[in-house]
Structure 1
Amino acid sequence: MGLNGHSTRTPLLTLSFISNYKRVAPHWPTFFTPSGAFFASRFSSLTAVSSPPLPRLSTPGVSNWLLLSSALVFGIVVVGGVTRLTESGLSITEWRPIAGTLPPLTQEEWEVEFEKYKATPEFKILNHRITLSEFKRIFYMEYTHRLLGRIIGLTFVVPLTYFVLRKRLSAGHPSRLFGLSLLLGFQGFLGWYMVKSGLSSALLDMPNAHPRVSQYRLAAHLGAALALFVGMFGTGLEIRRDWRWVNQGVWSGVRAVGESVVWEGVLGRAGVRRFKGAAMVLTGLVFLTALSGAFVAGLDAGLVYNEFPLMGGRLAPPSTELFSAHYAKSADGSDLWWRNLLENPTTVQFDHRLLAMTTYVSTTALYLTTRLRSLRGALPPLTHHMAKAALAMVNLQVALGISTLLYLVPIPLAAAHQAGSVVLLSAMVALVGSLRRPSAAARVWREAKRAVELNAKRGKAA
């Protein structure tokens, strides 16, 4: 019997399937944990018969690599936010993926880079009094951001190639991780495409122009980074949890007893399925709220209405301000709504507030549902822990957002607010993942291990 009194008995694999050690050994994950080596050694004592090998199972080494990669992506998101806040992103005027790896090393090279910057709209409109030493400071900020991107590329692609060639990935993981590598490469292009929008000479002909990158391209750049982070972080957690299930019989904090399949009694409940669906929707809402923050940043919308919860003494600005005809470019005004939603700083900030408060209320409500009698004992311990973590983080994130607004977007607070959005997203990804059943490969390995252990006990008893 498993959780909640549900029968969770699973048939063991037949001995003929698991006893061909010579064919199984190349696929056996013995190179990271003692338990794997112990398990493999038990196979050598069985009689070998013709049988198919066990499926490949991604190892903890793969999980560690993916979690490290996601941490680097987290870092570059934070560094990118600081780069934008310090207005350093337009200091490097060319995209040279290989040649740009090294910064200028001589005075002559620095003079050349400075002359390139002097030709940009940002220098001519805003920074025409900047000195070479001041230019070096903003140059190094953007250079660090780009260098970190190159490091992420190397630390992801090289180990991925090794793991694929060594056949240390479960079925489905090579294609998923290859897709992430393509997204990583595309992210580099998106970064340059974004910077290029702020270098356009057309800005010089616009009245009262403020050189900045396109908020659309900034949102695309951030969205791709967040998608990359979720892919790496989520997959890393999946592999780690699968490995724990195989070697320890632990699923989301619940330990299997005998032949029980602990997740069937949990995931089969209608209330748990509804909870998981709500958590997935909330994860999407957290992602959307973070993305709306890119529009706030791109339009400097955090510098209007620096008060909370009111805006100009009211809950919402006047409708004529939220949907100003000034932003419509079509003669018939057909683009009035969407251009105000995406280009009007007042509307963009108002929308971000609405999304943020909706996220806050929804995260709180999701946590409170875990306290309901019908779910309190049904959800596994890890889900409860992640719901608490999400609640704690959403409270901190709201506090950071309000403080950033009230204090006119100071760099430390604004950077912490952007980092907080990624941490909250991480908590939600982990929460949803806590209600995922082990992969098919992990289930086969667990059954095989149980069969070997049972055979060993029978041998001792005989």
Structure 2
Amino acid sequence: MSPAISIGKSFSSESIPSLTSGTEKKELPPLSPPSVSNWLLGSAALVFSIIVVGGITRLTESGLSIVEWRPVSGVLPPLSEAAWELEFEKYKTSPEFRITNYRISLSEFKRIYYWEYAHRVLGRAIGLAFVFPLAYYAIRRRLSPQLAPILSTLAVLIGAQGFLGWYMVKSGLDESIITTPNSVPRVSQYRLAAHLSMAILLFAGMLGCGLQTRMDWNWATKGVWNGLKDFGGNRAVLWENMMKNAPARRFRVAVALLMGLVFLTACSGAFVAGLDAGLVYNEFPTMGGGLAPPLVDLMNPSYAKRADGADMWWRNLFENPATVQFDHRLLAMTTYGSTIALYLSTWRPSLRAALPLTVRRLALTAFGLANVQVLLGISTLLYLVPVPLAAAHQAGSIALLSSLVALLISVRRPSMTARVWRNSVAPRTSPLPIR
């Protein structure tokens, strides 16, 4: 069977083409088809939706409405009035009801219950929508060798995320909240940040793998990379020209660092949400009349728990609402400035000549989304964190991260599997080395 004929067929062990070198015959590794890319991108979209729903659940203070974790039986909501009354009675034992919601009615309870219920059911749906197709593609040998271990790791993270979510909720149900003076019934900001961080990692992993899989397929079967066509011949392939370019290499590093900065900024936003820090200093660009709050507000000794005050600095960083908001502002503006710098760098002649048009357009997309995100963040602050604006702000952070994930994938070389396939499908007069 020739390689060219087998491209559009199933990648079972019987139909995988072979490389022939003299009398030695070597089977090509599996190459993930476009359906794998579609599945991964669809999974990423589901994770994006659960991040948004989770944000709304937090903003509407619905996250503590379900006081039990029932992975199987919890799939169904209360189906009768008696069942609703039972759930309501369980909620009445929680610190949130006893401290702040003691006047809530059953109809009001149903509203907050459904947000948390939707969040949990969507999490279960994501697990099923990811694990079963993963098993199918693995059994049918339709996963590239580089892809299988990454997707297996993501499947484990999905399971861990469910446990972490309940661990987070438990912190808001702790009875010690009742006996702690001036305590507010809410989940630990540390656990909330961990929960959001893992969700973002899952999203980025699914999105990145989906985009890389599609890019590999286009290169291996069509010779297309970043919208450019490879016509063969005795020359370096398109992606090699960019990989050897020093400004382009520095650009790749800058994209990776910026992506990390966006991730860190989003995680700091979880601390802002967990401490309701968006409700202090509702002004911009000042905080209390200056660019920074008074030092006594930033490093308040009352947050120290050790007698010698040695823990004062880090507790203020993570537990003081004023400091947490200030840190988030610094990270957000640093991210914004870095995104502008990255975009402007694509106009330098040396880099502009090295980067394909697709890459430059993605840099422009990231720049545009950063502007939208800054406007959403400022508006959320000035208008005292209304639910629609705050939810849009959280969604905007994931959208910005998405553009950078796509940008990073666009400046990567095709995978080893894709390069082996390309050399087999479209052999050149002088074979290219597999790097």
The TM-score bracket by the shorter chain reads: over 0.9
Aligned counterparts of 1:47 and 1:307: Cα–Cα separation in 2: 70
Task: Select which of 356, 360, 367 maps to 1:384.
Answer: 360
Instruction: Name 1:16's counterpart in structure 2.
Output: none
Aligned counterparts of 1:257 and 1:319: Cα–Cα separation in 2: 63
Determine which structure has more spread, i.e. the larger CA radius of gyration. 1
Aligned counterparts of 1:116 and 1:412: Cα–Cα separation in 2: 30
Instruction: Name the SS for the 1:89 alignment partner.
Output: coil
The amino acid of 1:292's aligned partner reads S
Instruction: Name 1:163's counterpart in structure 2.
Output: 137
Instruction: Name 2:70's counterpart in structure 1.
Output: 96
Instruction: Name the SS for the 1:451 alignment partner.
Output: coil
Instruction: Name 1:458's counterpart in structure 2.
Output: none
> In the TM superposition, what is the alpha-carbon distance from 1:264 to its structure 2 partner?
1.0
Of stretches 443-452 and 326-335 in structure 1, the one that deviates more from structure 2 is 443-452
Q: Deviations over 1:233-281 (max 9, x none)?
A: 0000000001111222111122213234111111101111111111110
**Counterparts of residues 398-417 of structure 1 (less than 5 Å):** 398-417=374-393
Aligned counterparts of 2:82 and 2:116: Cα–Cα separation in 1: 20
> In the TM superposition, what is the alpha-carbon distance from 1:108 to its structure 2 partner?
1.3
Instruction: Name 2:294's counterpart in structure 1.
Output: 318
Instruction: Name 1:444's counterpart in structure 2.
Output: 420
Contact persistence 1:29–1:57 (CA under 8 A): no
TM-score (norm 2): 0.94
Aligned counterparts of 1:160 and 1:58: Cα–Cα separation in 2: 12
Instruction: Name 1:234's counterpart in structure 2.
Output: 208
Task: Select which of 264, 269, 272 maps to 1:293.
Answer: 269
Instruction: Name the SS for the 1:52 alignment partner.
Output: strand
Of stretches 154-163 and 269-278 in structure 1, the one that deviates more from structure 2 is 269-278
Contact persistence 2:65–2:116 (CA under 8 A): yes
Instruction: Name the SS for the 2:197 alignment partner.
Output: helix
Task: Select which of 330, 349, 354 maps to 1:373.
Answer: 349
Q: Deviations over 1:169-212 (max 9, x none)?
A: 01122211111000000000010000000001100011121100
The amino acid of 1:189's aligned partner reads F
Correspondence 1:71 to 2:45: yes
Correspondence 1:221 to 2:199: no
Which consecutive unaligned segments of at least 5 residues does structure 1 have?
Answer: 1-19, 455-462
Flag the 1:118–1:29 CA change in 2: closer, same or farther, 3 A: farther
Instruction: Name 1:195's counterpart in structure 2.
Output: 169
Instruction: Name 2:433's counterpart in structure 1.
Output: none
Flag the 1:225–1:385 CA change in 2: closer, same or farther, 3 A: same
Contact persistence 2:376–2:392 (CA under 8 A): yes
Aligned counterparts of 2:265 and 2:428: Cα–Cα separation in 1: 49
TM-score (norm 1): 0.89
Aligned counterparts of 2:216 and 2:34: Cα–Cα separation in 1: 9
**Counterparts of residues 252-401 of structure 1 (less than 5 Å):** 252-259=226-233, 260=235, 261-401=237-377
The amino acid of 1:432's aligned partner reads L
The amino acid of 2:47's aligned partner reads V
Task: Select which of 134, 139, 143 maps to 2:113.
Answer: 139
Instruction: Name the SS for the 2:53 alignment partner.
Output: helix
> In the TM superposition, what is the alpha-carbon distance from 1:31 to its structure 2 partner?
3.9
Flag the 1:445–1:200 CA change in 2: closer, same or farther, 3 A: same
Instruction: Name 1:243's counterpart in structure 2.
Output: 217
Identity across aligned pairs (percent)?
Answer: 61
Correspondence 1:30 to 2:17: no
Instruction: Name 1:15's counterpart in structure 2.
Output: none
Aligned counterparts of 2:227 and 2:408: Cα–Cα separation in 1: 14
> In the TM superposition, what is the alpha-carbon distance from 1:448 to its structure 2 partner?
1.3
Correspondence 1:423 to 2:399: yes
Flag the 1:452–1:363 CA change in 2: closer, same or farther, 3 A: closer
Contact persistence 2:64–2:173 (CA under 8 A): yes
Instruction: Name the SS for the 1:312 alignment partner.
Output: coil
Aligned counterparts of 1:123 and 1:149: Cα–Cα separation in 2: 25
> In the TM superposition, what is the alpha-carbon distance from 1:453 to its structure 2 partner?
12
Q: Deviations over 1:376-425 (max 9, x none)?
A: 11111121011000000000000000000000000000000000000000
Instruction: Name the SS for the 1:51 alignment partner.
Output: strand
Flag the 1:233–1:453 CA change in 2: closer, same or farther, 3 A: farther
Q: Tell me how many residue pairs correspond in the alignment.
A: 424
Aligned counterparts of 1:384 and 1:85: Cα–Cα separation in 2: 36
Correspondence 1:126 to 2:100: yes
Aligned counterparts of 2:252 and 2:423: Cα–Cα separation in 1: 26
Flag the 1:272–1:48 CA change in 2: closer, same or farther, 3 A: closer
Instruction: Name the SS for the 2:128 alignment partner.
Output: helix
> In the TM superposition, what is the alpha-carbon distance from 1:91 to its structure 2 partner?
0.3
Aligned counterparts of 1:55 and 1:28: Cα–Cα separation in 2: 13
Task: Select which of 140, 153, 157 maps to 1:179.
Answer: 153
Aligned counterparts of 2:429 and 2:117: Cα–Cα separation in 1: 55
Q: What is the RMSD computed on CA atoms of the aligned residues?
A: 2.1
Flag the 1:236–1:136 CA change in 2: closer, same or farther, 3 A: same
Q: Deviations over 1:114-134 (max 9, x none)?
A: 100000010011110111111
